[in-house]
Chains A and B, each alone.
Chain A
Amino acid sequence: MRAPDLLRFARDAATGNPLRTVLLVLAMAIGVAAVVVLTALGDGARRYVIDEFSSIGSNLVIVLPGRSQTGGFNPGNAITNTPRDLTVDDAEALLRAPAVKNVSPIAVGTSEISVGGRLREVMVAGTTAEYTQVRKLDMAQGRFLAAGDWRRGASEAVIGATVRNEMFGSEPALGRLVRVGDRRLRIVGVLAASGQGLGMNTDEIVFVPVALAQQMFNSNTLFRVLVEAKSREAIEPAKAQVTEIVKVRHDGEEDVTVITQDAVLATFDRLLGALTLGVAGIAAISLAVAGILVMNVMLVSVTQRTAEIGLLKALGATGGTIRAAFLTEAGMLSLAGALFGYALGHAGAALIRHLYPAFPAWPPAWAVIAGLGTALVTGLVFGVLPARRAARLDPVQALSKR
């Protein structure tokens, strides 16, 4: 039998029983759509987290005061159970590390900002001019905090986009005097809206010089020190050097935690990658179920078409031709289901992206290929048994059946 004839024959056989065909295609489609949507969710979550982390800045090493619990028992900690302050001097010392490109200390606290009768509670972050380089931030207007001695700060502030909108509305903000806590500060810049930054949304923050913030909150310790390594390869050396410098400055005690963004990212990447694989596996089970359905429906079809199979044999069809006809039909139904499911899955993912624009719910290419492939393979594999049964029918008995 010629290939186009085989295809037409299988198509006619499939459309000859529309209900059966629609149900089968639907079952297959749901399986494939489940793979596409679930992996889109899993991979979307992975991408979302990674984007959030990446938006903090690249080649980042973060120094936190206090020893992380994973370090085990440390006799030094047992004696001085409150960790030493992480100070601006410590931060400045880190600049000596050869693998370090930039350092930016951060002190945080909450305060009130008021201007022209409007009042709002805000997060105040004390930092230095280097902050925008380390975090790769853009300015919407004006400039960031002035460079200079970290221990002395001018009476100036930079505000995030949300703060700007809420405090000034349509009025110009640049150059205005505002009151933050008990200080009068001049707005020198407005940050471009970012809407991102894990845990700290820069849109809602007022930035002031770090010295000013420490005076306002009457504290010497820093919340974080952000360190930018010279390159990706320099991240690990930078981490070691930073740890060593702080240790020396703190009388040999390792009382800070140094984390690299890479390590955190890699962990999340692995975790969420595994999660995606897991849901893909679960969705694949529904494909296997669809495959078993294909087999059963095809078996019923063989029984219903016994007389026809007998006739085909009487007309000179070989067992191979009959096998090919039934396999083609199973493959065709699976393919139709897979393509329909693919479209359905993409529509589902698009709907999720429409409802949650921040969530990148795109199915990964490997999952789509695996889903379509599995659908086709299961359809064909489970189609083999019915096709063989059809090919082996005894023509005399098949013909005598009505």
Chain B
Amino acid sequence: MAAPLIALSGIERVFHLGDSEVHALRRLDLQIDAGEYVAVMGPSGSGKSTLLNLLGLLDRPNAGSYRLEGRDVTTLSAEEQARVRSERIGFVFQSFHLVPRLTAAENVALPMTLAGIAPAERAARVAQAMQDYGLADRANHRPDELSGGQRQRVAIARATIMRPAVILADEPTGNLDRATGDEVVRLLEGLNAQGVTLIVVTHDAALGGRARRRLMMEDGALKHDSAT
């Protein structure tokens, strides 16, 4: 059988606050296969965001190993990690994180621009994405001219434009009302249906319940995994 998409073993993440130590993650072991739909839940401060940041290579563990697609990524240089983020990982944030001075289309194109993809290909892929996400008539609007739901759709279009293997979403519906939130969730689930691995951090039990696999975290450790 092929190696799992994500394999964490013995992951520790310790923050130092003055003299005290905060163990955000303790001896975490976790495997996620390609194409899974995983919800990460748990009380505030239980380490959900820390886990997601580690999975997205925005943060490094103090101990343990992380293999992504069979490759140990914890030992990679910063440049190599940036490349992995660019090509394999898409982020969706609670507060959207769109660049305010850029138009919707430019925000969607940003990962390709950073990766140095040729303008012609960029334009074609952005046009297709704007079509797919129902944003075609909003392409030249700036983020402050868009509704919350539209902003998150732009963010999701941006997260998928490089065709990543995994999408990491930290409370993607946290800033949206229920109706728009559901719309965004259906969009993400649609991507998962096409084969993209989806990992969503959420406080919302209803949202978490939709995932095929649910992880419950508490005090930096995995308390319950619906797959075991």
Whether the Cβ atoms of B78 and A399 lie closer than 8 Å is no
Of chain B, the residue at the smallest CB distance from A5 is B113
Please indicate the chain A residues that have their CB under 8 angstroms from the CB of B158 in the complex.
Answer: 315
Contact assessment for A316 and B113 in the assembled complex, using a CB-CB cutoff below 8 Å: no
Bound complex: CA A312 to CA B107 (Å): 11
Which of A57-65, A222-230, A317-325, A365-373 lies on the face that meets chain B? A317-325
Stretch touching chain B among A8-16, A75-83, A181-189, A237-245 = A8-16
Query: Does B110 reach chain A (CB closer than 8 Å)?
Result: yes
Nearest-Cβ distance from residue A402 to partner chain B, whole angstroms? 7
Asked if B221 is at the interface of the complex by the 8 Å CB criterion, the answer is: no
Which residue of chain B has its CB nearest to the CB of A9?
B113
Interface string of A179-219 (1 = CB under 8 A from B): 00000000000000000000000000000000000000000
* A399, B113: Cβ atoms closer than 8 Å: no
Q: Does B162 contact A (CB under 8 A)?
A: yes
Q: State the majority secondary structure of interface residues on A.
A: helix
**Would you give the 0/1 interface string for B107-140, flagging 1 where the beta carbon is closer than 8 Å to chain A?**
0001101111001000000000000000000000
| A314-B101 in contact (CB<8A) | no
Contact in complex: A316, B58 (CB < 8 Å): no
User: Is A1 touching B97 in the complex (CB atoms < 8 A)?
Assistant: no
Closest to B54 in A: A396
Assembled-state Cα–Cα distance A160/B116 (Å): 76
A321 near B99 with CB under 8 A, answer: no
Which of B64-72, B82-90, B186-194 binds A? B82-90
Q: Which of A1, A315, A396, A402 has the most CB of B within 10 A?
A: A315
A316, B162: Cβ atoms under 8 Å? yes
Closest Cβ of chain B to A192, distance in Å, is 66
Question: Which of chain A's residues 277-326 have a Cβ closer than 8 Å to chain B?
Answer: 307-308, 310-321
Q: Which residues of B contact A396 (CB under 8 A)?
A: 53, 58-59
Within 8 A of B (CB), among A369-402: 395-396, 399, 402
Contact B110 A395 (CB under 8 A): no
Given A311-B99, A316-B83, A399 and B114 contact (CB-CB distance below 8 Å): no
Q: Does A118 contact B (CB under 8 A)?
A: no
Q: Is A2 an interface residue (CB 8 A)?
A: yes
B76: Cβ under 8 A from any A Cβ: no
Interface band, chain B: 20 to 34
Q: Is A320's CB under 8 angstroms from B93's CB?
A: no
Q: A9-B113, A307-B97 are in contact. Are A315 and B85 (CB under 8 A)?
A: yes
* Separation of A318 and B83 alpha carbons in the complex (Å): 8
In the complex, A307→B95 CA distance in Å? 11
A309 to chain B, nearest CB (A): 11
Tell me, in angstroms, the Cα distance from A13 to B58 when the chains sit together: 24
Say yes or no: is B56 at the interface (Cβ < 8 Å to chain A): yes
Residue of B nearest to A321 (CB): B114
Contacts of B116 in A (CB 8 A): 1-2, 5
Interface assignment of B146: CB less than 8 Å from any CB of chain A = no
Chain B residues with CB below 8 A from A317, complex form: 82, 86, 114
B37 contacts chain A at the CB level, 8 A cutoff: no
If A313-B82, A399-B58, A399-B93 touch, does A13 touch B115 (CB 8 Å cutoff)?
no
Residues on the B chain within 8 Å of A321, using CB: 114
Cβ contact of A399, chosen from B97, B101, B115, B162, cutoff 8 A: B97
| Chain A hits for B3, CB < 8 A | none
Chain A residues positioned under 8 Å from B58 (CB to CB) = 313-314, 395-396, 399
Residues in B with CB closer than 8 Å to A399 are: 58, 93, 97
A307 to B85, CA, bound (A): 17
Alpha-carbon distance between A15 and B101 when the two chains are bound, in angstroms:
9
B94 vs chain A, min Cβ distance (A):
10
B30 at the interface (CB under 8 A from A): no
Q: A15-B101, A315-B114, A399-B58 are in contact. List 14 more A-B contacts (CB 8 A).
A: A1-B114, A9-B113, A308-B99, A315-B110, A315-B111, A315-B158, A316-B111, A316-B114, A318-B79, A318-B82, A318-B83, A395-B58, A396-B58, A399-B97
- A-B contact list, 23 entries, CB within 8 Å: A2-B113, A2-B116, A4-B119, A5-B113, A5-B116, A12-B101, A16-B101, A307-B97, A311-B97, A313-B85, A314-B58, A315-B85, A315-B111, A316-B85, A317-B82, A318-B82, A318-B83, A319-B79, A319-B82, A320-B79, A395-B59, A396-B53, A396-B59
